Amino acid sequence: MTDAGAVFAVLAESHPVRRAAFDHNFEELIAAMTYDGTDFLVAEDGGTVIGYAVAARVLSLSANGPVSRLLELVVAAAHRKQGVGGRLVDAIVARARRSGAVEVAVAASGARAYFERRGFVARATYLTLPLI
The pLDDT assigned to 2 comes to 62
Main-chain phi, psi angles of 57, to 5 degrees: -90, 135
Reported confidence tier of residue 82, pLDDT bands at 50, 70, 90? very high
How far is Cα 122 from Cα 62, in angstroms, rounded to an integer? Answer: 16
How far is Cα 104 from Cα 86, in angstroms, rounded to an integer? Answer: 14
Query: Helix axis angle, 19-32 relative to 4-12, nearest 10°?
Result: 120
For residue range 16-41, list pLDDT tens digits in order. 999 999 999 999 888 888 777 899 99
Ordered domains of the chain (ranges, CATH): 4-117 (3.40.630.30)
Mean pLDDT of 39-56: 95
Distances (CA, A) of 113 to 11, 51, 124, 130: 22, 20, 15, 26
Q: Using alpha carbons only, what angle is made at residue 54 by residues 53 and 59, rounded to the nearest 5 degrees?
A: 140
The pLDDT assigned to 58 comes to 93
The residue type of 13 is: E
* Residues 128 and 99: beta-carbon distance below 8 Å: no
Reported confidence tier of residue 89, pLDDT bands at 50, 70, 90? very high
Residue 12, classed as helix, strand or coil, is helix
Reported confidence tier of residue 125, pLDDT bands at 50, 70, 90? confident
The pLDDT assigned to 1 comes to 47
pTM above 0.75, yes or no: yes
